[in-house]
Amino acid sequence: MSEASERPRTAVVTGAATGIGRAIAFQLHHDGYAVAINDIGREGAEKVAAEIVAAGGRACAVPGDVSDPAFADQMIADAVEALGPLAVLVANAGINIIKPFLEFEEKDLERIFRINVFGVFYCVQAAARVMIAQGQGGKIINAASAGGKRGYELLGAYSATKFATVSITQTAALEFAKHGITVNSYCPGAIDTGMWEMIDETIGGINNVARGETLKARVAKIPLGRVGYPSDVARLVSFLASEKADYMTGQSLVVDGGVILS
């Protein structure tokens, strides 16, 4: 067996039933990984795994809630048992809650921090434990956001969770470097997924504008002149997961058509 074929080739992608996570799962399949598909919705995770298998790939579903630390460990163990040694974790699962700053309640903050911060933290811990034990390094890639680089109106809680993800990325990068594990994040702008449909509808409701108008106004500010697609993010993740990014760690890269500058 060649050295290349002995390298771990399993990737775990959380929140991969839809949107950005689904595109990342298919991209990593195209890049030659066996992909474990997590989502809180079992049906969605199983569907994406079946689609990858039907396309000739290796995949399995590992459905469950990433904000449960015991589940995070179990998810990684199940993925390794089904598909082989772990090469890549993409901690993609996340939610958004849109409200004026003064209207956020304790239950909103608990919910969004539990999934976006605790969930990323637990999955990074679970993946790193296994990668360290394997002794062959690895790539950990987290979903942050342009909202993790600057605050946005009505996204007070979400932005706070994504700043936290940038921080988790830096600390984990420092602690795991000696094990050959790199840790980076992607920071998308407005990407055309179910999450942005919800943002458009909710902000439209608060500002009393019709459906589609909020996204249209955001796109008008994007220097590259279009909304982002899940594939735009998946290609960045493909790079971060590859050996081309071997000398990068602790970075949170913006993929937003330039809107953060506007």
Where on the chain is the footprint of ligand NAD (CB under 6 A)? 14-15, 17-21, 38-41, 44, 65-67, 92-95, 115, 119, 143, 145, 188, 190-191, 193-196
Please report, to the nearest 10 degrees, the dihedral formed by the alpha carbons of residues 125, 3, 242, 53 taken in order: -80
158 is catalytic: yes
Catalytic position from the list 33, 122, 152, 158: 158
Measured N-to-C along each axis, helices 119-134 and 156-176 cross at an angle, to the nearest 10 degrees, of: 20
CB of 44 to ligand NAD, least distance (A): 6
CB of 164 to ligand NAD, least distance (A): 12
Give 135 or 194: the residue with its C-beta nearer to ligand NAD: 194
Q: Which two tokens stand for residue 54?
A: 């039907």
CB of 1 to ligand NAD, least distance (A): 35
CA dist 105 and 99 (Å) reads: 10
Place of tokens 């990737």: 11
Q: Which amino acid is at 126?
A: A
Give 86 or 95: the residue with its C-beta nearer to ligand NAD: 95
CA dist 253 and 141 (Å) reads: 11
Give 149 or 179: the residue with its C-beta nearer to ligand NAD: 149
Give 68 or 177: the residue with its C-beta nearer to ligand NAD: 68
CB of 201 to ligand NAD, least distance (A): 13
CB of 85 to ligand NAD, least distance (A): 23
Give 91 or 243: the residue with its C-beta nearer to ligand NAD: 91
Place of tokens 């579903």: 61
CA dist 228 and 2 (Å) reads: 39
Q: Under 8 Å CB-to-CB from 250, ≥6 apart: which residues?
A: 169, 170, 173, 174, 183, 184
Q: Which two tokens stand for residue 19?
A: 């949107």
Catalytic positions = 158
